[in-house]
Amino acid sequence: MVDNMDILKNALFEEISSPNISISSAISKYILKLRDYEKNEWNLNDPYEYAKFCIHTMFIIRMIEKEINVSNLTKKEKETLEIVKKYKFRELVEPYEKNYVRFSVWKNREGTLLYKLSDYRQKLPEENSWEQVYSYFVIHPKKFPEIKSIVLKTVKEKNLIL
């Protein structure tokens, strides 16, 4: 039998849960991450962290979705919002190459994992002793200026951060 406290001590579980967190705190943490990526000019040194950030984005947009005033958004922001909203259902919006990048996981014979980001269309041949074990599409980094703008407009308009 698995003890609930053992589950809570699991590092992966701690990464995705918190016993007491407010919506404003979650949004504040997200905005800080957004600004860090922006400050680094969307330099994606860690594909795994970027993939998690894309999933985090989907959750944040989902949390504030009913608060977003679509009439205050630019055409580009509306298009980006649609991409994120559909992404939660694993629906992809064309043009794929402009909206997504490929996140892939590779392993070698020793069991070492390697994470990669690549162009949506790029075919990834198995390399030397590396075998691709998983891949999926994440939101293209070029979409994040609009995502940031959507989040900040909503937060400001609705006073979501205290």
pLDDT of amino acid 38? 87
**Which of 8-22, 59-73, 101-115 shows the lowest per-residue confidence on average (mean pLDDT)?**
8-22
pLDDT of amino acid 13? 45
Residues 82-139 have pLDDT tens digits of: 999 999 888 999 999 999 999 999 998 898 999 999 987 776 566 678 888 999 999 9
Tell me: pLDDT of 7 over 80: no
Q: What is the dihedral of CA 54, 20, 31, 96, to 10 degrees?
A: 20
The model carries a pTM of 0.80
Report the sign of the C-alpha dihedral through residues 28, 14, 84, 86, in that order.
Answer: negative
Residues 72-93 have pLDDT tens digits of: 999 999 999 999 999 988 899 9
118-155 as b/e, with b when 16 or more CB fall inside 10 Å? eebeeeeeeeeebeeeeeebbbbbebbebbbebbebbb
**CB distance 86 to 92 below 8 Å:** yes
Report the sign of the C-alpha dihedral through residues 76, 79, 85, 87, in that order.
Answer: negative
